[in-house]
A and B are shown apart, each in its own frame.
Chain A
Amino acid sequence: AQSVSQHNHHVILSEAASLELGCNYSYGGTVNLFWYVQYPGQHLQLLLKYFSGDPLVKGIKGFEAEFIKSKFSFNLRKPSVQWSDTAEYFCAVNAGTGRRALTFGSGTRLQVQP
């Protein structure tokens, strides 16, 4: 079965600091990878996704992620965070075998201090 690990449960940063959130998955085959963001009181929104091709993917709001197959990782990065990035971030994976359901990590709560 697939599983997703997000090692940082709560991250506190000051504005303009750089961000990197870790995500590791366990599945040996082809995977599709996602990062979703959930702002306080809101629903999940897609930040970025990786299906194939260039392992460095760029998403909305200046976020990017790098797929490293050898490390089973898909870490999320942003060079300079803003107060408005305060939210919970979820990494998700589904196996590229046709199964459509997503397996989510436990989430990382990011708090950006002005």
Chain B
Amino acid sequence: DAGVIQSPRHEVTEMGQEVTLRCKPISGHDYLFWYRQTMMRGLELLIYFNNNVPIDDSGMPEDRFSAKMPNASFSTLKIQPSEPRDSAVYFCASSGGGPHEQFFGPGTRLTVL
């Protein structure tokens, strides 16, 4: 199994630009999570999906952030427009329907200049 796949691994962009982060969960997993990791706030949940439906988006910072899951094997997290304070590592994780264990991807390190 390839595990959770995220792309790109690194993204450097300028303030105001649109950023799209991508995630492919582990095949057969029906839960998908987006987390953000910063020095100041640690690891925090942004949003999670079950069977492609958003369940809890209370962690999405503001309207500049949006997430979609058009099918069971793909999700995107979009930031438009990006700001320097969005600089962080964004992790995607997936989980199967049984145990609550989550499997994390390698993360995308985003730098907004």
- A residues with a Cβ closer than 8 A to B are 32, 34, 36, 42-46, 49, 51, 90, 94, 99-107
Contacts and interface: CB of A to CB of B under 8 A. Distances in A.
B91 A100 contact: no
B85 interface: no
B100 A100 contact: yes
A34 B48 contact: no
A100 B101 contact: no
Interface in B71-113: 91, 93, 95, 99-107
Contacts of A46: 101-103
A40 to B, nearest CB: 13
Contacts of A94: 100
B45 interface: yes
A100 B105 CA distance: 17
Interface string B10-44: 00000000000000000000010100000000111
Contact of B106 (A43, A90, A105): A43
Contact of A32 (B33, B44, B100, B105): B100
B31 A100 contact: yes
B102 A102 contact: yes
B25 to A, nearest CB: 13
B42 A104 contact: yes
A32 B95 CA distance: 14
A99 B102 contact: no
